[in-house]
Amino acid sequence: MTKKVEKATTTETEVISKSVIHPKTKKAYGPTQSCNDSIAMRIKKDITKGSTLEDVAVAHQLNMKRWSHLNVGMQRMNLGNAIRGLIKRGELVDYVSS
């Protein structure tokens, strides 16, 4: 949901959005709204094969309920970040290659 607001002092139009994602970030990520790194691509591959975000989370002992108040896109983003954290800490080694 966006609405346009005319600034009183200039002719510029400022778009106000309820999104928590900065417009520059949205523009940088393009229409897919994905960073398209190996983790994001693997999650997408798993979902395309019929798994759900919940299935992916359970497979990595992650609890999706902590993100239940978020929309699906933000849940996917948080799941990807959690998996990246597991990899960074050495708790998950071969998610991308498997």
How does residue 53 score in pLDDT terms, banded at 50, 70 and 90? Answer: very high
In a domain, 98, yes or no: no
In a domain, 95, yes or no: no
Q: Minimal CA–CA distance to 64: which of 56, 52, 54, 50?
A: 54
**What would the pLDDT profile of 74-93 be if each residue is shown by its tens digit?**
899 899 999 999 999 988 86
Q: Minimal CA–CA distance to 56: which of 75, 37, 71?
A: 75
In a domain, 84, yes or no: yes
In a domain, 82, yes or no: yes
Q: Model's pTM, two decimal places?
A: 0.66
Boundaries of domain holding 29:
2-88
23: left (phi over 0), alpha (psi -120 to 50) or beta: alpha
Give alpha helix (H) positions in 1-98: 23-29, 38-48, 53-59, 72-88
Structure tokens of 7? Answer: 């600034």
pLDDT at 8 > cutoff 70: no
In a domain, 93, yes or no: no
In a domain, 67, yes or no: yes
In a domain, 62, yes or no: yes
Q: Cα separation of 10 and 78, whole Å?
A: 39
- As for how many domains the chain has, the answer is 1
In a domain, 94, yes or no: no
